[in-house]
Structure 1
């Protein structure tokens, strides 16, 4: 219609058109010229149809769905559903063969293949009813004595609203099973997997099936910047991480200095740890396997359960988790995200809402054993998880709702998450259907409680601290099996962490980040606040940011702003090794640089007008001439003996303290768009910010050699007594393993990583 309206003749022109017009010439060129607009429109239509056909047939469904969703959302703004809760009637099950069956404890599993031996074992657990939920891939003749099976046809007859939103071929159809269990009297639901067996065959011995008010350990909330934890560390596996842990937190492998204590009774979501194949992501799975032999990771069965305080989250999955009735609303599995992300997003979404009830998540020692069937983990199915989960956690911590009922708050959060792009409008509508179905099957929403996040955090006194030192169990790291038990004495590591725990390490990788980024985080993330990886190419999956090394100083202000509470920022290139144990004596309020290393810090007298040094020297003069007085005076005083010379520093490693961050940013702004190389800009900045006499000399004794074609051919270059070593090449996991073997002389616990 828009095209027709655009080309319609005016009314005055319409009156002049005759009933019979003059005969038209039928030669081809005339016809084309007169019908050019129609030809263009028809051609564009054909191309569009072909493009959509190509997209549909050559890309995965998720890509097409994303394309359609983005197009729709760009045209139609989101609308928050308005539900009249009082008009929803409770309806009993009148259609299924189990309409009169009622029991309190249910095990819900998704089934795609014929019953597994593990599933047959779940049926034998006394006092629990197994509910198997089928999908379009489930065999038509699926059957298991002692279980209730919901085929697609049986699900359709239940009449739930959520059925309109569920894919046919996905495990997220478990949402139907949850509703069915609630409708038939459930007050505990064990969310399970058909390839996991309950250890000991008794869920009552694995979880708190009955909630009692007894003391239990709780992670400390002392660090306000900590938002997520890796629970596997608590249970003896420091180098294994769960699916859903942000990749930027993978390197945080220190155990707790201390815990606090909380009274049980409100751990409405209980996450169990799995032996064998734990819940790990594809990044771990692919980088830790070197053979076709399955994983058999073991956790400490004697470690105590541990609760999460408000403000700290943990990944929660859908195959070894116990839900109490107060958290049944949190069983909803999102439908617009990838299957490997659905339960993880549900877990974070549910934890945040659980705080509104005064409830919390607790993690339990090994409750199940899952067998590794050596099936490839689909990384593509996790991509949106790795990209979004860190941002989601930050979003959830600041989200607030003024609504006065839980279901209204749930709608608010689901709407906000759709607006932020964590899921689509499809899940907003799905949430609305899910909540209405909950009321229909007889579920009563819990009452709200005041949110502790908005209260001042209580100081943790010495008497409130509870100690527990996790065991270090055999594990698998970088494809190398570790045997024996490693000592848990990590006093030095705690000391290093205390010293550098609020220092941000910024690393520029010249090598292939897909082979080294996680390893660098594992190595240095144990000690520093966080490890920011930069490279010439962005890699969102590995949280690697794009930056240009020649102008690396121009990227640093963004990082300064992101970590504004940090004590300082230590920059290092990946061809330089940091022996952090030899940096303890350095003053973190001063600049660290290599001004005492003659092969790194030099003065050059430009010889011409067009050579590189002359061009850089001219840019330095222009920059200095525009500096404020205090910068200019400092620089000229520092360079008074060589004003005509150009100071060049290789700048593979340097440190900027917090007190000078603003000065550094101001100098970056002064340089602006000038093509000033970082090897010239960084020493100029430091000389302008402070007198070289005030620089900390800690890097003066580093091992520094000029690079050659075989600069990494000899391990004799490395010294554990030096603060840093340059150069050192890391381009693969094997290179990393060799490096760790050398560094273990100064930090023996590094052998945990290899």
Structure 2
């Protein structure tokens, strides 16, 4: 080992080629040290800037038992590199191949302690390709007898531990088995698969398995023991076997596997997929049996964790999944880990019946933005999602005078925003109309409200699946809980826009708005120590509970509370914006936008107010007033129609240059408002304000 090289973050690859552009690209990622493991075919003079290279000669000099168990020409030689990196002080190890191109400098991976996330709530088996928008595809190692089973879309939004193993999906030619390639692509063509890059990362709970490979995977320190690759399994299956074995053992230390949106691109050369199929035979005919075995396997209660590792490995030999040489490799690997100072994780015996969580998780139904699937024997690509939305509008407006054509559709680039639509009451039959109104521009729409059973009944009639979170909004009084829950899901967006289901959003304005600023409406001041004529200040959702929440925040500024500076800064900005240390705001809150850069503080402060059941028209404007100075907030222009008869005059009062109009009740969209939507709103949404004005 080389004591002069001490680094926390390592990238480990094997290669038989001269330095590739992909390896050179990895070496340019700040903060990461690249370790290249040579083999018998690797050029003896291999050298590249910012890379450490271990030739076969170098490897044999290392004081490691594992070296004796790994033959040359074996993919398992990566294990030598892992041990080398661990000995040099690694906390994170990223494994990949020399033909993978990272597209984000590994920034998608989570190196920090995670607080919230999306937890899969289905049973036993998870298909990550479905989660990220390719429901007709499956990764190498997914049991082929389960491909035709209906994928589950049940999730929980909950506090989660950062996954010990994180796998990033790969665009271009991702990892799929030979059966897929033989039946779903032209032999000499290159695939160009795209996954949904905005879909939130997902964590698999204990009790759920999924295949993952060694081509784009990050391991945290507590999972370094899982990086070893069996030496007798064929090249096309060894990392998959390793992955299933590792997941079952993760359950014994309270660890988890997570999947991230695509953060790499791969190009593969065409070759004999039929030969690949022969190599992958075990994946086709043994995986389901292996999965059943892992589900039923138990580790003796008296065993420590490394004893569990050996026991499972030995049991896999006894059941014919591994060979004795693999077990010997595992024993040598564990010996080397302990010799170089790796700390064995503490065992937390897996219990099949999960304990009750500290806080109730929020149920969610998630569907990614479905991506174009890889075609075969057709020259035209499938219709893109946007045009399918346009066709839906065309169908809805078929009986009106306005007809829509593909020619002239606005090509303005739309911001990468998650639209959150809140239902004060569970009138979910209106969701298809909201999809018509906003689905053309928003690839990701999240619906939120009470009563998942009502949603499930309504959704049976939907033409396309939608994402939904069940949140206690109580008549809309706590609608901000929808916003914070959406933020906790960690979508890969620039920001979060929340509107009520009866808020008409004029989408054609949004591309010109600054996505790095908060967008909100006009506000009115209140004072914590004074009565006020505003109705809601006097109710059980007003002054009393607001002041309790504020007191809780003030208590955090005492002593050395971990969030002291955050809360003090928040209160100082509120004071600046209101002109008083007793000031706060109230305002109608049926539309707002928060950039993702404010998400953590938004979650923190809104959760404090949520705990005390404070009314949304106090919480939202006051939290915004503590996030940013007033002069940096972008004001939204629009209309609120009160109970003076104007609510029945939507077509007459609508203004194309406003951003919003509230309320617009969609219960009459098929009758009274159909002509308004088909002849005014939809043309503006599709063609833009200027185009529509010229056509009048």
TM-score, normalising length from structure 2? 0.54
- Does residue 379 (structure 1) correspond to residue 277 (structure 2)? The answer is yes
Contact 1:273 1:363 in 2 (8 A): yes
CA distance in 1, matches of 2:170, 2:101: 9
Kept in 1, the 8 Å contact 2:127–2:151? The answer is no
Counterpart check, 1:485 vs 2:410:
no
Q: Secondary structure at the match of 1:340?
A: coil
Which runs of structure 2 are paired with 1:641-652 in the superposition (5 Å)? none
- Structure 1 residue 262: Cα displacement: 3.4
Q: Report the counterpart of residue 290 of structure 2 in structure 1.
A: 392
In the TM superposition, 1:50-449 aligns within 5 A as 93=1, 98-200=2-104, 202-203=105-106, 205-210=107-112, 212-221=113-122, 226-252=123-149, 254=151, 256=153, 258-377=154-273, 378-402=276-300, 403-449=302-348
CA contact (8 A) 2:187 2:270 kept: no
Tell me, in whole angstroms, the C-alpha distance in 2 between the residues paired with 1:274 and 1:245: 16
Residues 496/176 of structure 1: CA separation in 2 closer, same or farther (3 Å cut): farther
Distance 2:240 2:356 in 1: 28
Structure 1 segments unaligned to the other structure (5+ residues): 1-92, 498-754
SS at match of 1:114: coil
In the alignment, the residues of structure 2 paired with residue 482 and residue 344 of structure 1 have an alpha-carbon distance, to the nearest angstrom, of 32
Secondary structure of 2:199's aligned partner: coil
TM-superposition CA deviations, 1:334-358 (whole Å, max 9, x none): 1111111111011111111111111
1:303-332 CA deviation, whole Å, 9 max, x = no partner? Answer: 000011111111111010000000000001
Range with bigger deviation, 413-422 or 401-410: 401-410
SS for the counterpart of 1:283 is helix
Once residues 493 and 219 of structure 1 are traced to their aligned partners in structure 2, the CA distance between those partners, rounded to angstroms, is 23
1:131 partner SS? strand
Secondary structure of the residue aligned to 2:219 is strand
Counterparts of 1:667-746 in structure 2 under 5 Å?
Answer: none
Aligned to 1:613: none
Within 2, Cα distance between the matches of 1:238 and 1:269? 23
- Secondary structure (helix, strand or coil) at the match of 2:237 reads helix
The 2-side partners of 1:99 and 1:209 are apart by 24
Distance 2:459 2:177 in 1: 28
Deviation at 1:404, TM superposition (A): 2.8
Secondary structure of the structure 1 residue equivalent to 2:35: strand
Structure 1 position 468, deviation (Å): 2.2
CA contact under 8 A between 1:271 and 1:363: conserved in structure 2? yes
Structure 2 residue runs without a partner (length 5+)? 390-431, 436-455, 463-696
Does 1:464 find its partner at 2:362?
Answer: yes
C-alpha deviation, 1:280, in angstroms: 0.7
CA separation of 1:376/1:159 partners in 2, compared to 1, >3 Å: closer, same or farther? farther
The alpha carbon displacement at 1:300 in A equals 0.7
Which deviations, in whole Å up to 9, do the C-alpha atoms of 1:255-308 show, x marking residues without a partner? 51x311332334000011000111111111121122522111011110000011
**Cα shift at 1:113:** 1.2
How far residue 131 of structure 1 moved from its aligned partner, in angstroms, is: 0.5
For the Cα contact (< 8 Å) 2:74–2:231, is it kept in 1? no
Structure whose alpha-carbon radius of gyration is higher:
1
Question: What's the CA shift for 1:495?
Answer: 5.2
Question: How many angstroms apart in 1 are the aligned matches of 2:50 and 2:120?
Answer: 40
Aligned CA distance change for structure 1 residues 446 and 138 (closer, same or farther; 3 Å): same
Distance in 2, matches of 1:102 and 1:321, equals 22
Q: SS state of the match for residue 364, structure 2?
A: coil
3-state SS, counterpart of residue 206 of structure 1: coil
1:64-111 Cα distance to aligned partner (Å, 9 max, x none): xxxxxxxxxxxxxxxxxxxxxxxxxxxxx3xxxx33211000000010
What's the CA shift for 1:372? 2.3
CA-CA distance at 1:496 after TM superposition: 11
Distance between the aligned counterparts of 2:320 and 2:459, measured in 1? 39
Aligned CA distance change for structure 1 residues 349 and 191 (closer, same or farther; 3 Å): same
Counterpart contact for 1:233–1:253, Cα < 8 Å: no
**Length-normalised TM-score, structure 1:** 0.50
- State the secondary structure of the residue aligned to 2:12: strand
Counterpart Cα distance in 2 of 1:110 and 1:496: 52
- Say if 1:255 and 1:469, in contact at 8 Å, map to a contact too: no
Question: Structure 2: how far apart are the matches of 1:376 and 1:492?
Answer: 48
Give distance in 1, aligned partners of 2:357 and 2:376.
Answer: 41
Match of 1:475 in 2: 373
Contact kept, 8 Å, 2:110 with 2:162, in 1: the verdict is: no
CA contact (8 A) 1:239 1:253 kept: no
Aligned length: 392
- Work out the CA distance in 2 between the residues paired with 1:342 and 1:405: 26
